[in-house]
Structure 1
Amino acid sequence: MSDLDETRPDWDNAHALTGAYVVDALDDVERARFEAHLRSCPDCRIEVETLRETAAALAVDPVEPPARLRAEVLAGIETIRPLPPHIERGSEATDDRTRRRPWFASTGPLLVAAALVVVALLTTVWLKPWASDDDTNLSATEAVLQADDREDFEQQFPDGSSATVVVSRSEGRAVVITDDMAPAPDGKVYELWLQDPAGSMVPAGLMPDQDDATVLLEGDASEATAVGITIEPDGGSAEPGPDVVAVIEITA
């Protein structure tokens, strides 16, 4: 028997595959067979609709799972829903709608939600060992700080504080890291600037009121020649004022 045959679902209990169908854990052949089953099983159609509504409410960004997850999901779905649709055995006078009630008619939504929450939590746990360094989604700041072409340019101030500009030309961004920098005066703020090759200063954001800060500059730093720090009125200025704290050259 092939590995694929070992992971194919038991079609004698197709009712247990509604969850796997909704989370797209069936292959093309299995999906076609299950959809054929759905056409003759109103109970499973109702459950699939309920599962889809709950899954939509818990939706997350799609991820590419490892190959082993398919077999684990198929096995797990049967433990989450161990019973096929339950058919009430009433008198012959009871109409078909009363005799054929889905097992989840009263408690189904709660059980479905609980099952999907369990699946979501387990998937989150499973995702962690799949991630590699190449798959890690870095923030723009982290991308600059970890870039292969990172360059550091430090400016020391008389009071012992410092500001370091980290530039990545490949990322086209720059980051300012301050160490023990005094706060701006009341009613003022530190504003950052990128100097373009023509010598013009372009606004690049405001610094937080913190002694130690790491700030990603706004704008394209791929051709910037310097980073400026000025003291401006709260809210910043469109052009740098006369109160210049530093102009840090970032060219080799």
Structure 2
Amino acid sequence: MTTAELHRMTGAYALHALSDEERDAFERHLTDCEPCTQEAAELCATAARLGLAVSVTPRREMREQVLRRITTVRQDSPGSPVPVRSGRARLRARLLSRWTLAACLAAAAALGGTTVWQHQRAEDALGQMRRAEQGTAQISAVLAAPDARNRVAKLAGGATGTVVVSHERDQAVFLAAGMAHPPTGKVYQLWFDDGGSMRSAGLMDPGRSDQAVLLQGAVDGASGMGVTVEPAGGSKQPTTSPLALVNFPA
């Protein structure tokens, strides 16, 4: 593979479109080629921004529509009038009416419980949706900030991590690509490096290999960030050696 061919692989590398052999060769090339390193970092950040740009904000009236529909029970249309009966037929009709009324009351009680459950599920889903929208908006704002700067780091197993920092917003985003799932009962935890003192910056989603995470906390005072494997729920201080330590771009 010639050097000229390696120079043309930055775009495919950013989109994870290289074979394992090509990726290994290109990453060896990056150690000696500053222009390709910079271009690959910028393309990785751009690809992440484009991915976030496809998010759709739901209509404002959707919440009211959902809550209204789940509490609506469709009723059968009225049937034809019941013919008048006499004697044994009237008695049978009264008994049947009582059993029907009891069944309707039981069904109504069950339906009421189901409706409450559905309402709570809808409220929970709407709350999650609002939190996801807020997080996506914050991530997009950092990536699109005029002063945003990024730096790429190599992680274990061929994964890559890109940190994007906006000092004007005092925020940072970590973009992970191709990360292996953590061991069962473990999670990836992010940290701010405050001159050698590690400060928790939040947890990553253990079920996703590619993700964008807004670091929790202020960037001011931090010289970089790190990633460690911690017990589910996270730790107050790192309990394992960092998988990666990345200095923030100037």
The verdict on a shared fold, with TM-score over 0.5 as the criterion, is no
Larger Rg: 1
More helix by share: 2
Of structures 1 and 2, the one with the larger relative CO (CA 8 A, separation 6+) is 2
State TM-score, norm by structure 2.
0.44
